[in-house]
Chain A
Amino acid sequence: GDSVTQMEGPVTLSEEAFLTINCTYTATGYPSLFWYVQYPGEGLQLLLKATKADDKGSNKGFEATYRKETTSFHLEKGSVQVSDSAVYFCALSERTGTASKLTFGTGTRLQVTL
């Protein structure tokens, strides 16, 4: 079945550091790929998405490129801020039958310090 593997956290960075959170996936077809973020005390929010190979999703300075050849969707940001501290989830969605449900990774907690 479908699965998503992402790097374990927590990841602790100083403000303005470069961020990479690795994500790889296994899927039988051609999934859409997502990064969701969960800020403290809030619900899951879509951060960015990519729907086909070589697409780049971007939002709030974060980027991720859909790499079909390496089945990866790594999240990057050039300069993190304290306000980026949150839990980040990589996910895929592959239409199976009549449903289009999300399969999530286990999440990576990011802590950014001054």
Chain B
Amino acid sequence: GAGVSQTPSNKVTEKGKYVELRCDPISGHTALYWYRQSLGQGPEFLIYFQGTGAADDSGLPNDRFFAVRPEGSVSTLKIQRTERGDSAVYLCASSFSDTPNTEAFFGQGTRLTVV
């Protein structure tokens, strides 16, 4: 399809395990964002890529969280030593540019549950 694709749609993992969440943005979109949405809350910014580089990672909660975008397209969010508090829906968005009035297109998210 032509939209932002996120896999898996659901992930259940045990506390302490490592997980990878994948985002495939819309073709040609250079800006890519990761957000985290906890139950009953709005999405919260995690990290932003312009091309291959992480231009702003100020929203990553701690050093257990890391993201890459090696070829400027697909991105992977990696979480080490998962904790129950990491349970949330992780959203990916992409846009044609990073100017403030440019529409961001969101994927349907990956629901992560840490048990």
Contacts and interface: CB of A to CB of B under 8 A. Distances in A.
Interface of A: 4, 31-32, 36, 42-46, 49, 51, 89, 91, 93-107
Given A44-B43, A93-B100, A106-B41, A101 B106 contact: no
B45 A43 contact: no
Contact of A100 (B44, B99, B105, B109): B99
Contact of A46 (B43, B48, B103): B103
Contacts, number: 73
Given A42-B108, A44-B43, A89-B42, A99 B55 contact: yes
Given A49-B101, A99-B56, A43 B43 contact: no
Given A49-B103, A96-B56, A101-B33, 10 more contacts: A43-B107, A43-B108, A45-B106, A46-B105, A93-B100, A94-B100, A99-B48, A100-B99, A100-B100, A105-B42
B2 to A, nearest CB: 13
Contact of B101 (A51, A101, A106): A51
Which bucket holds chain B's interface residue count?
20 to 34
Contacts of A89: 42-43
A100 B106 contact: no
Contacts of B33: 101-102
